[in-house]
A and B are shown apart, each in its own frame.
Chain A
Amino acid sequence: MLVELNDAEIVRQIGTGSSREAEAELFRRMAPRLRLYGLRHLRDEQASDDLTQEVLITTLEALRAGRLREREKLASFMLGICRLTVLGMRRGAQRKERLLEQFGPDLLPASQPSTPQLDHGQLAQCVQNLKERERTVVVMTFYDEQAGADVASFLGISEANVRVIRHRAILQLRQCLGVAS
């Protein structure tokens, strides 16, 4: 079961150049994680998919060539590639077509974990149940996308206090929605 292999073993097997299964496992394992990185930094699902593909293919090239010497540092290695790729994407550098042509789409993961769907009516009730300041903070944060300093200025409190209120509100919302672990 390749799923039980740790990252270092995956890296080793890919480095031998003979394990198509290890490559597929790398893609299966890392694609959802990379997509989250992309969503965070690019705020766009299509761009996140593009980033995922590019980082995976760049990583695979490097592993096949044995360029990762410290095998247990795969995550760190890929994080570096993520950063460079985001920079490249922001500069408009698109290598996707060439890379896809070279490697083909067969290695790319067929599906990604989707963002969970929340019960909208239940969320509305949960938000309405928050204290006034908590409700204002979460709406200003998630809708207005206002920085902590702006929210703090509006409320006349410190940024640290805004953070505390936001954390408390998120915890309460998750508990109310039944998703808190």
Chain B
Amino acid sequence: MTTGNAGGSVVCSRPLDAALLADYWLAVLLAPDEEAVELHLLQCDPCGARLREVIALSKSMHRLAREGSLRMIVSDASIQRAKDEGLRVRQYDVPAGGSVQCTVTAGDDLLIARLAANLAGAQRVDLSLCDQQGREQLRLPDIPVHPGSDSVLYQESITFAKAAPDNVMIARLLAFDESGIERLAGEYTFHHMRTMPGPGA
């Protein structure tokens, strides 16, 4: 991996792709590969610029995750990391078939629901988010589920929750077996009560 001109070059004859540079930034390359990348970067400004983009993406992702505005499945380690960083995590643990009174305050940073379910044998799991009448509003298909896990950690957008008026949300975990047959693994009802001032309060 070298540039055509090992100098103040602006043209790279063998550009490193962003995924490889991300691996480099994440320190997951083997030593010989890392050395090759570093030697290249010491001779190539276009690839250096691409690495800066990867670094920017990494930093922005970090900021985005801290904001708690992403709807996504998270891990226990992610929640612990957030707590270690000083973020305030509001978490509701709900059994299958259960319901919970919930709210969110200005001081909360992340909003998490631990949805207990028997997911044994599931080849795929979807999370369906429904309104009070049970009509699906959003589906997260094929969510990541640790094999053998007895629960799913769902992060709701705290930005959305802080702005939401009183409402009821029904979440459903839908498990699919090898033949694609769907079964309801758990249903969870959230009675959200708004405690923050603002429109819709």
Q: Which residues of A are in contact with B by a Cβ distance under 8 Å? A: 3-10, 25, 28-30, 32-34, 36-37, 39-40, 72, 74-76, 78-79, 82, 113-118, 120, 123-124, 127-128, 131-133, 135-136, 138-148, 150, 153-156, 163, 166-167, 170-171, 173-174, 177, 179-181
Given contacts A4-B8, A139-B65, contact A167 B19 (CB under 8 A): yes
- The answer to whether B42 touches A136, judged by C-beta atoms less than 8 angstroms apart, is no
Main secondary structure of the interface of A (DSSP, over half): helix
Q: Which of A79, A116, A163, A170 contacts B38 (CB 8 A)?
A: A79
Write out, one digit per residue, whether chain B residues 30-53 have a CB within 8 A of any chain A CB (1) or not (0): 000001001101110100111111
Interface positions, chain B 48-106, Cβ under 8 Å from A, are 48-66, 69-75, 77-78, 81
Give chain B residues whose Cβ lies under 8 Å from the Cβ of A32. 45, 48
Q: Is B136 an interface residue (CB 8 A)?
A: no
Secondary structure type dominating chain B contacts: helix
In the complex, the answer to whether B38 meets A37 with C-beta atoms within 8 Å is yes
With contact pairs A40-B24, A116-B52, A154-B146 given, residues A6 and B60 touching in the complex (Cβ less than 8 Å): no
Whose C-beta in chain B lies nearest to the C-beta of A10?
Answer: B7
Measured CA separation A177–B75 after assembly (Å): 26
Interface pair A3/B8, CB less than 8 Å apart: yes
The answer to whether A140 and B7 touch (CB under 8 A), given A7-B43, A123-B64, is no
List 8 A-B pairs, minimum CB-CB distance, nearest first: A143-B65, A167-B19, A142-B61, A75-B42, A6-B7, A156-B147, A3-B8, A132-B143
